[in-house]
Structures are given as structure tokens and as C-alpha cells.
Structure 1
């Protein structure tokens, strides 16, 4: 495995009336990739994947409002549509259409954006996307406990007050197939970020409200349900699922491959929920091959 690179430099930008922190990497004269992180994630989730593709693509990874270094949304709206609006405004502020990559909640945002604003998206890559699945799984159902009125938020706040070292290890245990494989540099960076987040008054609320918004999307019916919108996406799609994912059931890969019109499906063994962090070189190889022909594949390809 290559030595970890340092986190890419970031800057604050005002787009669509909101202030967001955005990290950029790669050559400015190359095609643009925009990366969207998952629930309670940050732009640094993409450091290694951006590094692996830096010679061929210009990467931009925002901290979505209320996460990483970005301030919370002024209206307190953490719903999926608010995330779509933030991502769309960022994309419109530069060269577009872009290659759009999303993980988990970022994958949900990317699907709706590609379905409703296709002029902004050239290709779509979904890494363990959070698409509706109501079958019980231990980790997601434990998270849902935080939404129980009064008791849930209080319990989550207590969890958030545990030492940063404990919180980081719990996150690695939940999102990696092999937590010990995380480079020491990345663990130290995660510790620093956790300690910084401790002082942010919106730290707990941003997670709970985003989770509440995601649950609402899982229960949504009608033309704007995420699976209905997935079927409407007419851009090439790379689907990356992980066999050891504790959040997204890898069996959903089959449904995704049947739903997206033009897709390539990859199922990674011995990999957890954040494949771009645990297996960046492998994900980069798949993404590089996919983008080489702008994702050109026959419909339903796998």
C-alpha cells in the first residue's frame, strides 16, 4: 500500500448563499470529480482516493454543511434536498458536468442530483450508497435508537462525550473490515478532527437531523423515492458495494444493478463501508477504468 498523503488543502467558499469548506487536489487542467462524503463524514474521507487519481483528475471534496469544517446551515435544514442543493451549487460554480462520486449518505444525495439535475452530472459513482432498505441490520438499527424522542438524543449526546480515542476506534470498528489496516497517520488525523468537533455546538444536532432526514427518504413513496429516481438516472453508473459492509447490505447490489440503466457493478471482498478509505488503490483502479471511456457500458452491464 502506498504511503498516505497529507490531507489536501482546503478553502472556504460561498456558494448559493452558504459557506462551505472545500478541499481540492490534482491537476487543474484535468476533468473534474466532485466527492460527497457520508453521514458524520468529512472531505478528508477522500484524501487517498483523490491522491491516487491526482495525475488524471482534479478532485473537489466539500465538507457538507454542518460537517467537517463547514458551518451548519443557517436554516437548520439537514434534509436530503438541502444536501442536493449544496452539492448542485458547488458543481455549478465550476466546470460542469462533473464526474460525481458519493459514499453512503453522499450516495443518496448523488442519486437525487443525477436524477433531477442531469445537466450537472457526467458520470455517477456510488460507493455503498444509502438507498432504501427496510430489512433489519444491527448497526443501522442501533443508530435509529438515537431518534427516539427525548431518550435517544440524550443517549447519543452521552456517547458523543466519550473520549475521542474511543469514538474513533468505534468508527473504525463499524466502517472497516480490518480496522487495524488504517494507517497511523489517518487515525491521528481522525483524532484531531474529533477533538476539534467536540467544541462545535452543532456536532450532535447535525448527525441526528441528517439521520432523521435519511430515514424520511427511506420511507418516502411516490415519484421522488430514491429507487424510482435511481431508475431515471440516464448517466453511466459505477456501483461499488462491499461484502463486509455493516451498514449497507451487500445484497442490495443486485437490486441496484437491476435498477440503474447503464451500470457497472463491483463487489469488493474483505471490505467495509468506506471502501475509498480502506481500499483506495483498488477503488481508484475501478474508477479509473470506468472513467476512461466516460463510463461507457451497455445498459445493465456488470
Structure 2
């Protein structure tokens, strides 16, 4: 693990106004509706990228960052099953989410991609990168929802006991339908941002429209509760023997990885990001002061500086570099660090 490298701030574009959400389209993915938004590259030679949102989010969570990265990345942001404009799913487990990511990369047929994941999408991206390293050029994880056992370190912790109820989805649907879209949007903003005052009014109005959309989607509560159950289940399995542990999956990742987290994250234990970076052999870490759970939305240009730094580093590597040997060296170094720490 090393510190993330940032390109100079003046080299990153600053749009004069916030872009509208990138256009989207519904596609058939193995007989189910999948929704994707395209952020076309603005310069030649751009490489493919896929962006994956977190629990309760959607592809619109990547609007600003994808636009800033467009000179070098040809982006596609997907709505996970049950969220945004995608259809419902048979399963909302983390494994199912990872399989959805893998299938989209396969079906889109754009070769290995730069894969981005935030929160639950970050955890699913970890599993996807571990099982299909051939599909991932690099991995960027923003506040990945990797396991931590103290529920007091997350605002979601209070919901965990409700997951034991067989009618949890119905209760969640009743609760959500009783809330005005403005209130629901403001609650999400407050929980995800370190400074809600940073949230542009244009984006707030868009968030209200998304909250209004959720009232019309009959399976949204089912998807939310099912995904949260899947996430909590992955937390519990992480500390049991066997190959089901997502920590073991992280340790198998070979892609160059950038891990980013805000120190004021209220949803994921801030000690998690360094643990993830320590496990991945070829990793870089950036902890951001005054930033919450969705750094790609709160400080997109800062995140872009780190991503461009990673892309510059990869471009500078000699062609044909023995990646396997480099990774073995990194793993040996990490084992030595662990022995020293213990």
C-alpha cells in the first residue's frame, strides 16, 4: 500500500455549470432489464470505464465525476438490479451484484475496464475483480462497504435488527411511502455528505425527483431490504472459515487499485478503507478530511486528480512488465509487514 498520487489541480477541468444527468438506456441482460448511462469520451484514446453505485443510489451518483474523467475514460454507469431504472432481481446478495457487474462487462464487450465502485457497489466490485481479473484494468473503491462489526459506526446500524423480521420489506415500503420526497432526499444528503451545504441545489432537486420515482417502483423496498440483508450477510461470512469471505476476495485482487474514503463518513467505519488497501497488493490509499460517504459527488475534482494519477502511473509502466512478479513482491512485502505488526 502507498499513498495515492494526485495530478496538479490546474490540469483537471472545472465545468462552468453542473452537467445534466448523462443519457441512459434500458438493455436486456439475460432476460432482465438493466439500465446504463453513457458518458462518452471527449478526447481520442480514452479507455473504457464502468461505474457502480451504492445501496439506495443509482447511476446518477457518478454524473459529475464521469464528466470530469471523460477526457480519458469512456464511461458507463449502471443501475444495479432493483435500483434506478433497472428491473427487479431474483437475488440481491452481494454475489449476485458482482455477477451482474461481470455480465455487464462481458455483454458490453469493451474489453477489460477501469472499474469504479462506491459503498455497496465497491464491495460488489471487489468480488467482481477477484473472480474475473481479466475484465479489470484498474479498480477504484470509494468508501467500499467492506465488513466491520460495530453497528454504532454506521447510521444503517439501527436498521439491522429490522432485517430479522419476515415482513421487513413491507414495513420499509410503508415507511418510505409515508415520507415526502423532499424529506427523503434531504435525509439521504445529510447522511452521505460531511457538509450538506455543499450539495448544489440543482442536484438536490434531481435527488427529490429520484425519491419521487422510488414511490412508483413496486420493488424498490424489496431491493433495498434485500441488498442490505445481503450486505450484512457478507459481513458475517467474512469472519468465518472458507472461501466465502470477502476479505479473502480482496486479497486475491491483482488489478492496480485506488482506495478513497472520507474521514467524516457516517455509513462505513472509516478504519475499513485502510484495511482494504493493506490487503490488496498493488494499492494506493487516499483519506479525505471534511468529506463523507460519497467523495465522487462531494469532491469530484479531487477524486479525479487521484484517478488521473493512477492512470498516469499505469501509462508510465514499461510494456510487458512482469505483473505477476510485481504482485508476488508486493504480497511478500505485505506478509512481512503483518509479521512485524504482530
TM-score calculated relative to the size of structure 2: 0.83
The 8 Å contact of residues 154 and 268 in structure 2, kept in 1 or not, is answered as no
Contact 2:24–2:35 under 8 Å retained in 1? yes
Equivalent-residue separation in structure 1 for 2:35 and 2:274 (angstroms): 35
**Equivalent-residue separation in structure 2 for 1:211 and 1:35 (angstroms):** 20
* CA distance in structure 1 between the partners assigned to 2:258 and 2:146 by the alignment: 15
Between the aligned partners of 2:301 and 2:176, the Cα distance in structure 1 is 32
Paired positions, count: 299
Segments of structure 2 that go 5 or more residues without pairing to the other structure are 1-13, 318-325, 335-342
Aligned counterpart in structure 1 of residue 158 of structure 2, from 132, 139, 142: 142
The match for 2:93 among 79, 83, 93 is 79
What is the alpha-carbon distance in structure 2 between the residues aligned to residue 254 and residue 85 of structure 1?
A: 26
Secondary structure in structure 2 of the residue aligned to 1:61: strand
Q: Deviations over 1:224-246 (max 9, x none)?
A: 21111111111111000110001
The answer for the alignment partner of 2:180 in structure 1 is 163
Can you list the C-alpha shifts for 1:114-163, whole angstroms capped at 9, x where unaligned?
11111111111100001111123241212314313157545433431210
Provide the residue aligned with 1:54 in structure 2. Answer: 70
User: For 1:123, what is the secondary structure of its paired residue?
Assistant: strand
TM-score in terms of structure 1 length: 0.93
Tell me, yes or no, if structure 1 residue 194 matches structure 2 residue 194.
Answer: no
Corresponding residue SS for 2:222: helix
Q: How does 1:204-223 map to 2 (within 5 A)?
A: 204-220=221-237, 221=240, 222-223=242-243
Q: Partners of 1:84 and 1:148 in 2: how far apart? A: 24
CA RMSD of aligned residues (A): 1.9
1:292 is displaced (CA, Å) by 2.1
The answer as to 2:80 corresponding to 1:70 is no
Question: Which residue does 1:281 correspond to in 2?
Answer: 301
Distance in 2 (alpha carbons) for counterparts of 1:15 and 1:151: 29
Partners of 1:46 and 1:146 lie apart in 2 by 30
249, 252, 255: which one aligns with 1:235: 255
Give the whole-Å Cα distance in 2 for the aligned partners of 1:152 and 1:18.
25
The 5 A counterparts of 1:37-52 are 37-52=53-68
Give the superposition deviation at 1:80: 1.3
Shift of 1:283: 0.6
Judge conservation of contact 1:237–1:263 (CA < 8 Å) in 2: yes
Select between 112-121 and 286-295 the one with higher mean Cα deviation: 286-295
Name the CA shift for 1:294/1:17 in 2 (closer, same or farther; >3 Å).
Answer: farther
Corresponding residue number in structure 1 for 2:289: 269
Runs of 4+ in 1 over 4 A off after TM superposition: 150-155, 295-298
Kept in 1: contact 2:147–2:272 (CA 8 A): no
